[in-house]
Chains A and B, each alone.
Chain A
């Protein structure tokens, strides 16, 4: 949460150029898919955009605006995909996403948490996961023929969605690691990463999750955490240091997405995908693995006139994980990878993030439907992604719009390609 002065500085720096709504202009490949912000495209009012929310934030801070129904509607419909944020950083460098997150915090502080989001917190309090499932069943998905080590150099952080909703991703991940001969461990007492709590501005509980998991990782003695969950990846890499007012590099662990890890193994010749997977695919960049995944740099605001942010390191969305999944897909015999019009840092959000999937499933489906349509136009038969919630909502959308498009997590594809 930004401190008030910095919040005001950021919000008032906007020059209203509307770039926050667009795909990077040099990367626009068609008029149909030329825009970036899901709420802008769906709701059209200026309020439903980075630019609009910045102005609402300023007015709310100055006491000229309350949390009206429409303000809350726009604020909670935002998927926090970060498209606006990195687009602004082409030029203006406004921390659009941090302003929106701070506005959410102010909204919550005034008692405006959505019931669906409160339920997430209640579930986490009760059973350390957002679904309210029994904590004791967290690792129930573990295949019988896979035995995590009691002690290893690598720790697999699974995350709530793969533990409880998409166990096939967790199963594919551990099977893959086993087949590759990688010794790994899991946290015996893994709690929710807190991703949804951070997104819905329930920060006290989110911090509790962070502190627990960090301590558990420390206790395990590992330095390298891998995860197959893009949301957990971003949370461990960005949100944990952020809430603790540290930088990513100061954390007691390094977090790698499974694709980074496998890509490195491929390059080192330690893993080979020797089975053909004949499939034309397109890759969907999860926001949390792509443009939101730059390392976090803690910075105490300090400015010199006219506008020099002294000692600040910027997060512009280019340090995320874009190439490893693509390298893997290109390295599998039989796979033809075709890009959608919007890809890499210009990727369109799947629609699930920011608490939208939980509170507004119809909106999440609409956004995902836009993506499956874009995917279908490439001629691909399947969408591959790296995030359980992306898989979930894109899969639902593909089923609903009868495109026949299949949706896979990359771990499932990798598993098919390895003997």
Chain B
């Protein structure tokens, strides 16, 4: 089977013949995306199409509905779940939609889906502004990531990315265009709320549609004031970093000797409203950091020898202090931090004033360095709840080991946001490529515990979480039926 000829010709007339293709090689290269469930069947799409405007996207979606052809959307391919699960899918690649406009005065940017975080960040730096690159990487699409969750360590101070979502232009699954926030009244992306019910929740959230309901073609995203000088990069591509001005930034690595102390210290840092980044440092992060410059192959070689030595009973916290507005502010933050460290019996060590992953790159350092031989389960809850849950994950992991590899002490990463209000806990486990199945089984068992505890998973498995969360998948289905009666928008 293939895309009906008439439908294909219509698609050609929309974007021009060079921007749609059913060549098997083009389609084969679009079969996979990153971070997908390896047990899912991925089909070669029936055709790939590259629109350049919202009007073209709208027209494509209408064709998909007319011919009942499923469509799947991507832009950078660095995404979870954007692959064709159905025959004859239209793969809509939004890479050509890469317009970027920055309203310097009002501190927001209007971006299309092809704009990556590092591209936006580079332009913002020139204006003394910044955004926060998500943990998955600077090559991620600003639109896709912000609409979904927008998880970034710098969320400690500035919150999760989705809270920065302003006006939204949304091509609904049947091809109607919905403009949200201030964009609904005027050509203005400044404000995300109303009028009327706020529909942004349909786009994302723990149990939302994960951006599978139609196509977002433009968003306004809030940006933040930053230091006026541009951060200078340094190093070779296997090991690059951004040099931070020492009068405005300071990194501290802090060691605590009890679980309670590190938790209480995190809460206290939040209460005092200091720092830009606060996060725990699991041993695997230390392994990755120390093996930087030797890549994936080198990491495993290093890890085999060094992993057991990195396992310690101590708990490490990494804190980036930021003198927002002045050098004095940095001095103040440092004094407060060191007092807190003392109060909780920790020992603090200043780390080099540079940053590899929070401002520009954030290239899912751990996941990629270990060569995709990993699985992670991400959930959101309070700091103390997250750490307790981590202990249970350890027990589950032991039951799956081998083939799950030894990660030497906990490999769970706790990254609190909003000054400690909520914490992301990311459980990372590794296995050899041929044992990938074991990681999926582990993930499933972890999800069950996660659901039972009432933690909020980033990508909840509806079979597990549905019964616990009021059968939300049924409600989702109803919403989908209303918005997408032909069931063409990224169908499962």
Contact = CB atoms under 8 A, between A and B. Distances in A.
Interface of A: 13, 15-19, 21-31, 34, 44-47, 51-53, 55-56, 59, 64-66, 68-71, 74, 86-87, 89-93, 305-309, 312, 314, 316-318, 344-346
B32 A16 contact: yes
B236 A316 contact: yes
Interface stretch (B65-73, B111-119, B337-345): B111-119
B116 A34 contact: yes
A55 B218 CA distance: 30
B30 A307 contact: no
Interface residues of B, number: 74
Contacts of A47: 25-26, 28-30
Contacts of B19: 44
Given A31-B119, A44-B96, A56 B25 contact: yes
B131 interface: no
Which A-B residue pairs are the 6 nearest by beta carbons?
A71-B25, A52-B29, A31-B119, A70-B23, A91-B368, A47-B29
B123 A93 contact: no
A26 B301 CA distance: 26
Contact of A16 (B33, B115, B233): B33
B31 interface: yes
A91 B50 contact: no
A419 B335 CA distance: 61
Chain B contact residues: over half helix, strand or loop, or mixed? loop
A318 B236 contact: yes
B368 A45 contact: no
Contacts of A26: 233-235, 240-242, 356, 360-361
A52 to B, nearest CB: 4
B25 A65 contact: yes
B431 A306 contact: yes
B304 interface: yes
Contact of B238 (A27, A59, A70, A90): A90
B29 A46 contact: yes
Interface of B: 19, 21, 23-26, 28-35, 48, 50, 76-78, 93, 95-96, 98, 100, 115-116, 118-123, 126, 133, 137-139, 233-242, 294-298, 300-301, 304, 356, 360-365, 367-373, 405, 430-433
Given A25-B360, A31-B120, A90 B78 contact: no
A92 B119 CA distance: 22
A44 B369 CA distance: 26
Contacts of A51: 29, 77
Given A26-B240, A26-B242, A55 B32 contact: yes
Given A16-B77, A34-B116, A318-B238, A28 B29 contact: no
B372 A15 contact: yes
5 contacts: A18-B78, A44-B93, A71-B23, A91-B365, A309-B297
Given A21-B139, A89-B237, A314 B298 contact: yes
Contacts of B116: 22, 34
